[in-house]
Structure 1
Amino acid sequence: MPGRSALFGWLIGWWLLSSAGLAAPTPKSYQASSPDKTTRIEVTIDDHKALVYRVWFADEPVLTWSALGVELNSVAVGPNTVVKKQRVMKHTESFAWRLGENDVIHNNYTELTLDCLSGSVTYQLVARVFNGSVAFRYVLPKQAGTDFGKVRQELTTFVLPDAHTIYQYNEETVFTPTALADLQKTCDFPATLTNGRLFLSIGEADNTSYTKAVLSKGAPPNTLAVSFRKNSVLTKETFQTPWRTVSVATSAIGLHAFSDLPLRLCPPSSQPIPDWVKPGKLIRSSLTTQGGLNCIDFAATHNFQYILFDAGWYGAEFRTTSDPTQVIPAIDLPTVIQYGKAKNIGVILYVNRVALRARLDELLPLYKQWGVAGLKFGFVDGLTQEGISWLVPAIKKVYDHGFILDIHDNYKPTGLSRTYPNLLTQEGVRGNENNPDAFHNTMLPFTRFLAGAADYTFCYPNTNRYFTDNLYKSKLQVSKGQQLALSVVYFSPLQAIFWYGNPTDYNDEGEIEFFKRVPTVWNESHYLAGEPGTFISVARRQGTTWYVGSAAGLMDWSGTLPLSFLAPGKRYQATSYEDDGTGGIQKRVAEVGPGDTLPISLKAKGGQALILDQKQ
Structure 2
Amino acid sequence: MQTNISFPSQLNSSFGRILICLSFLICLATAAGAQALISRVQSPDGFTEAQFRLDKQGKLCYRLICDKRVIVNWSRLGIKTDGPSLDSLVSISASGQHRVEEKFPWPLGEDAVIENNYRGNTLHCSTATGTFDLVIRVYNGSLAFRYVCKRLPKRPVRLLAELTEVNLAGRHRIYQYHEESVFRSLLVDSLNGISDLPSTLVSDVPGYISIGEADNRNYTKCVLVHGRRPNSLAFHFYVDTIYRDQQVSSIRTDSVIMFRDSLISPWRTVSYSKTAIGLHNFSQLNLKLVSPSDHKVPLNVKPGKVFRVPINTQGALDGVDFASKMNFQYILIDAGWYGAEFRTISDPTKPIPGFELEQIIAHARQKGIGVILYVNYVGLKAKIDTLLPLYKKWGVSGIKFGFVDGGTQKGLTWLDTAMKKVNDYGFVLNVHDHYKPTGLSRRYPFVLSSEGIRGDENSPDAFHTTVLPFTRFLAGAADFTFCYPNKFNSYSKNVKVSKAQQLALTVIYFDPLQAIFWYGRSQDYQDDTEIAFFRYVPTVWDESRYMAGEIAEGISVARRKGSEWYLGSAAGLQPWKGKFRLGFLDKNKRYTATVYEDDGTGGIRTRTINVKYNDIYLVSLNGKDGQAVIIRPGH
TM over 0.5: yes
Pairs aligned (count): 592
One-letter code aligned to 2:591:
Y
Shift of 1:595: 2.4
CA distance in 2, matches of 1:97, 1:523: 9
Q: Aligned partners of 1:556 and 1:176: how far apart in 2?
A: 21
Aligned with 1:354: secondary structure? helix
Q: Determine whether 1:35 maps to 2:54.
A: no
Q: Is this contact kept in 2: 1:87–1:114, CA < 8 A?
A: no
What's the offset of the Cα at 1:88?
Answer: 1.4
Structure 1 residue 22, shift from structure 2 partner: 11
The partner residue of 1:77 within 60, 82, 86 is 86
User: What 5-or-longer segments of structure 1 have no aligned partner?
Assistant: 1-18
Determine if the alignment matches structure 1 residue 149 to structure 2 residue 168: no
Taking the aligned partners of 1:320 and 1:22, their CA distance within structure 2 comes to: 60
The residue number in structure 2 matching 1:16 is: none
Match for 2:181: what amino acid? T
Residue aligning to 1:108? 117
**Does residue 199 of structure 1 match 2:227?**
no
Shift of 1:301: 1.4
Instruction: Report the Cα distance in structure 2 between the residues aligned to 1:282 and 1:569, rounded to whole angstroms.
Output: 36
Instruction: Give the whole-Å Cα distance in 1 for the aligned partners of 2:94 and 2:41.
Output: 14
Partner of 1:411: 435
Superposition pairs for residues 203-602 of structure 1, below 5 Å?
Answer: 203-231=212-240, 232=255, 233-464=257-488, 466-467=489-490, 472-602=491-621
Letter in 1 for 2:311: L
> What residue ranges of structure 2 are gaps of 5+ in the alignment?
1-24, 241-254
1:160 aligned onto 2:168:
yes
Q: What CA distance in whole angstroms lies between the structure 2 residues aligned with 1:404 and 1:588?
A: 37
Amino acid in the other structure paired with 1:47: K
Aligned residue number for residue 3 of structure 1:
none
1:47 aligns with 2:56: yes
CA contact (8 A) 2:85 2:130 kept: no
Matched, 1:60 2:42: no
Tell me, in whole angstroms, the C-alpha distance in 1 between the residues paired with 2:88 and 2:354: 63
Cα distance change of structure 1 residues 21 and 610 upon mapping to structure 2, 3 Å threshold: closer
- Distance of 2:421 and 2:436 partners within structure 1: 19
Equivalent position SS for 1:454: coil
Q: Contact 2:198 / 2:472 at 8 angstroms: preserved in 1? A: yes
DSSP-derived class of the 1:459 partner = coil
Q: 1:359 to 1:558 in 2, by over 3 A?
A: same
* Contact in 2 for aligned 1:287/1:313 (Cα 8 Å): yes
Secondary structure of residue in 1 paired with 2:379: helix
State the one-letter code of the partner of 1:421: P
Aligned equivalents of 2:93 and 2:170: distance in 1?
Answer: 33
Cα distance in 2 for partners of 1:74, 1:403 equals 41
How many angstroms does 1:476 deviate by? 2.8
For 1:153-192, what aligned pairs fall within 5 Å after superposition?
Answer: 153-192=161-200
Q: What TM-score, normalized to structure 1? A: 0.94
**What letter is aligned with 2:471?**
T
Partners of 1:88 and 1:414 in 2: CA distance: 26
Q: Deviations along 1:300-357, whole A, 9 cap, x unmatched?
A: 1111000010000000000001111111123211111111111110000000000000
Paired residue type of 1:133? S
Preserved CA contact (<8 Å) 2:401 2:432:
yes
Residue 130 (structure 1) aligned to one of 130, 135, 139: 139
- Inter-partner Cα distance in structure 2 for 1:90 and 1:181: 37
Q: How well do the aligned residues superpose, as a CA RMSD in angstroms?
A: 1.6
Deviations 1:554-581 (A, max 9, x none): 0011232321111112111010000001
Per-residue deviation, residues 209-265 of structure 1 (Å, max 9, x unmatched): 010000000011111000001113211211210000001000010000000000000
Q: Secondary structure, in 3 states, of the residue corresponding to 1:361?
A: helix
Deviation at 1:148, TM superposition (A): 5.9
- Give the superposition deviation at 1:400: 1.0
With over 3 angstroms needed to count, the CA separation of the structure-2 counterparts of 1:21 and 1:436, relative to structure 1, is: closer
Q: Give the alignment's TM-score, normalised by structure 2.
A: 0.91
Q: Kindly indicate whether the alpha-carbon contact (under 8 Å) linking 2:483 and 2:495 is maintained by their aligned counterparts in 1.
A: no
Of residues 552-561 and 279-288 in structure 1, the stretch that sits farther from structure 2 once superposed is 552-561
Structure 1 range deviating more: 27-36 or 446-455: 27-36
Is the Cα contact below 8 Å between 2:483 and 2:494 reproduced in 1? no
Cα pair 1:57 1:132 within 8 Å, conserved: yes
Quote how far apart the aligned CAs of 1:269 are: 2.9
Are the counterparts in 2 of residues 168 and 175 from structure 1 also a CA contact under 8 Å? yes
Conserved? CA contact 2:222–2:238, under 8 Å: yes
Q: CA deviation at 1:275?
A: 4.1
- Structure 1 residue matching 2:381: 3-state secondary structure: helix
Deviations 1:152-202 (A, max 9, x none): 110000001111000000010011001011110210000100114110000
Percentage of identical aligned residues: 51
Match of 1:14 in 2: none
Distance 1:72 1:474 in 2: 48
Residues in 2 aligned to 1:140 and 1:560: alpha-carbon distance in whole angstroms: 50
**Inter-partner Cα distance in structure 1 for 2:368 and 2:35:** 65
**Do the aligned partners of 2:89 and 2:125 also contact (CA within 8 Å) in 1?**
no
